Amino acid sequence: MVLVLIFGMSAVFLWTEWQRFTNPPPPVAQTAPATPAPAPVPGASDTLPTASVPSPAAAPATGAVPAAAPASGAAATGERITIETDLLRVVVNTAGGVIEEADLKTQQGTVDKNKPYQLLLNTTDRQHVVQAGLLAEGMPNHKTVYTAQPGARKLDGAESVQLRLSAPIAAGPAAGGKVDLVMTFKKGSYVVDVAFEITNADQAAVTPTAYFQLLRDNKMPAGESSMVPTYTGAAVYNEADKFRKTDWSDIEKKKAKLPAKSDNGWVAMIEHYFVAAIMPPDKTEREVYADKVDALYRAGVKISAPAIAAGATGRIGVPVYLGPQEQEVLARTATGLDLVVDYGIFHVIAAPLFWLLSWLYKLVGNWGWAIILLTILIKGVFYPLNAASARSMAKLKLVAPKMKALQEQFANDKQQLQMKMMEMYKTEKINPLGGCLPILVQIPVFIALYWVLLGAVELRHAPWWGWIQDLSAPDPWYILPVLYAFTAWIQVKLQPPAPGMDPMQQKIMQFMPLMFSVMFIFFPAGLVLYWFVQNILTIAQQWHVNRMLEAEAKVKAATAAARR
């Protein structure tokens, strides 16, 4: 059963990594942005629904090309405004006030490491944008053409920079007023504050509803493989329902399990290492929605503004996170946002492992050395179990001649052979399965660490030493897999064959290090480093125990001889 478990797990990992290695997706072409063609500002007869987000017919998806030109023969176009901070380069289109590009300056691109990673993009090859609008007659939505107000476009030493887009309220109860879409970018932050400032010029109070949504296609990020077990899709969170993934198929089939109306939580679009999230303030009533518009998917929230009295100005807005899945940053940004780091079913083990790994990194300043120290600590935790296993395996080696004699004596009587061997185990105080238990116990740790190294953006492109310049990528020169194979082969030689194992099974056990080394060619270098150091420590422990038991055996033999 142990062999079946090991071989099964190996086969899954090997197939996954082989597909990733041999079938990478084509690089995303960096084509010119496809500017959306928003509709003109809604007129008096063009009322928007007040209880739901505009339908696809009323509000075409950002980036989609209209089937025909407007009746006037000229499509409205917007100005592309670039805002830069120390962490972000963001492009906002005045056509709809859509955030259609977001470059993360501190993160290298997956395909081209000389360029920053593009989290948001609006091209013919990839669409992932942030939209916002108001659901009230005559008020602007994500199709409206805004007018950009003058102002700074870079931090230039300031703590924040603000982009203000204005549009008139063309019809409805608040006609004659205006709406400002205000985006605030802060120094040292991946959070963009997106808010509407609504000026009511009418004689009666108005209560508009705002929507904020993430719109994207279902394509994997550039450089990622569909065979890699990482999640790309929507996710929602609130205190009652906790973290939930909402994949594309659930949205298509309208089976997405969305939280009921609540006053807390967030909605996000997740991809490997990165996340875009809309995070309304706590104690703000919101309604979460997710659906498919043409070939694109959207997930967002609707929030009702407090009543805005005649002649007054009201404000309604949300923070939007656009950045890497840095767990400490996510935890500070919003409750539960750090759960977007996907550790699978081993989260209960992986989360403490990452915390410990991060703590070690702060001590040594290098993720590779932190992995080595983590391996030593894990080995120390399992030392009593490993020591008992090592003694059991060493005793099996010492009694190998007696075992062979029993096998020859009872070669034709398997039942009698098993009884005699059990008697010998009791006499010599040997547990024949003692070598398997540590492996079974450490397999969850191994898998959890695999998910940590696969999902932690902190290790993305992190160097160790020499030829290892990216611990999240496979060893480019295959040195670590070869070293692992060599140390694993030494382990096999130090341990005797299991009782009753036939020659063919012994050959399989000897070939297992080679099989694992082939699999490790495609594994992250950080994981292979962990397993290589683990092997070295195991060899040292087994060698020490073997020497100690040999010395005990000599003392025991000498004592017995002296008595005779």
Domain that holds residue 525: 352-558
Read off the amino acid at residue 562.
A
Which of 103-117, 126-140, 217-231, 502-516 is predicted with the least confidence, judged by mean pLDDT? 502-516
Same domain, 163 and 244: yes
Same domain, 442 and 554: yes
Task: Please indicate, yes or no, if residue 52 is contained in any of the structural domains.
Answer: no
- pLDDT, tens digit (0-9, with 9 covering 90-100), for 338-357: 999 988 788 889 999 999 99
Is 185 in contact with 103 (CB distance < 8 Å)?
Answer: no
Of 236 and 418, the structure prediction assigns the larger pLDDT to: 236
Task: Please indicate, yes or no, if residue 106 is contained in any of the structural domains.
Answer: yes
| Residue bearing tokens 């450490």 | 442
- pLDDT, tens digit (0-9, with 9 covering 90-100), for 484-520: 989 988 887 776 555 555 666 666 666 776 777 788 8
pLDDT the model gives residue 56: 34
Same domain, 554 and 510: yes
Q: Which of 310, 340, 370 is the last residue of a domain?
A: 340
Residue range 298-312: mean pLDDT, rounded? 91
CA-based nearest residue to 106, from 188, 195, 209, 33:
188
pLDDT the model gives residue 71: 29
| Residue bearing tokens 């609540």 | 262
Task: Please indicate, yes or no, if residue 94 is contained in any of the structural domains.
Answer: yes
pLDDT at 161 over 80: yes
In the sheet that 313-324 helps form, which strands lie side by side, from edge to edge?
147-148, 160-168, 178-186, 191-199, 313-324, 274-278, 266-271, 233-238, 242-246
Residues of the chain with pLDDT > 70, as a percent, come to 79
Show contacts of 41-46: CB within 8 Å, 24+ apart.
Answer: 41/140, 41/144, 41/145, 41/167, 41/168, 41/170, 42/137, 42/138, 42/141, 42/144, 42/170, 42/171, 43/170, 43/171, 44/138, 44/170, 44/171, 44/172, 46/171
Cα–Cα distance for residue pair 91/36, rounded to 1 Å: 14
Who contacts 107 (Cβ-Cβ below 8 Å, separation ≥6)? 116, 117, 273, 274, 324, 457, 460
Task: Name the pLDDT band for 305 (thresholds 50, 70, 90).
Answer: confident
Cα–Cα distance for residue pair 524/475, rounded to 1 Å: 7
CA-based nearest residue to 161, from 151, 169, 171:
151
pLDDT at 361 over 60: yes
Mean pLDDT of the chain: 81
The verdict on pTM exceeding 0.95 is no
Task: Please indicate, yes or no, if residue 53 is contained in any of the structural domains.
Answer: no
Task: Please indicate, yes or no, if residue 9 is contained in any of the structural domains.
Answer: no
Of 88 and 75, the structure prediction assigns the larger pLDDT to: 88
Of 382 and 100, the structure prediction assigns the larger pLDDT to: 100
Residue range 316-326: mean pLDDT, rounded? 97
> Can you give the CATH number for the domain in which 231 is found?
2.70.98.90
Task: Please indicate, yes or no, if residue 1 is contained in any of the structural domains.
Answer: no
Number of domains present in the structure of the chain: 2
Burial bucket for residue 532 (CB in 10 Å: 0-12, 13-18, 19+): buried
Measured in degrees and rounded to the nearest 5, phi and psi for residue 427 equal: -65, -45
Same domain, 329 and 375: no
- pLDDT, tens digit (0-9, with 9 covering 90-100), for 254-287: 888 898 788 999 999 999 999 999 999 999 999 9
Task: Name the pLDDT band for 408 (thresholds 50, 70, 90).
Answer: confident
- pLDDT, tens digit (0-9, with 9 covering 90-100), for 23-48: 544 444 333 444 343 333 333 333 33
Same domain, 250 and 320: yes
Burial bucket for residue 509 (CB in 10 Å: 0-12, 13-18, 19+): middle
Task: Please indicate, yes or no, if residue 33 is contained in any of the structural domains.
Answer: no
Chain CA centroid to CA 532, Å: 25
Same domain, 371 and 295: no
How many alpha carbons lie under 13 Å from residue 489 in its C-beta half-sphere? 10
Task: Please indicate, yes or no, if residue 70 is contained in any of the structural domains.
Answer: no
Same domain, 273 and 140: yes
pLDDT the model gives residue 36: 40
Q: Would you tell me how many other CB atoms lie within 10 Å of the CB of residue 328?
A: 11
The secondary element (H helix, E strand) that includes residue 83 is strand 80-84
Same domain, 372 and 295: no
Read off the amino acid at residue 134.
L
Same domain, 330 and 375: no
Cα–Cα distance for residue pair 513/16, rounded to 1 Å: 19
Chain CA centroid to CA 256, Å: 21
- pLDDT, tens digit (0-9, with 9 covering 90-100), for 422-442: 888 777 777 666 556 666 777
Q: Which of 286, 305, 340 is the last residue of a domain?
A: 340
Q: Which of 320, 340, 360 is the last residue of a domain?
A: 340
| Residue bearing tokens 């190294």 | 453
Who contacts 395 (Cβ-Cβ below 8 Å, separation ≥6)? 428, 429, 430, 549
pLDDT at 114 over 50: yes
- Max Cα–Cα distance, the chain, nearest Å: 115
Same domain, 166 and 303: yes
Same domain, 165 and 239: yes
Same domain, 395 and 369: yes
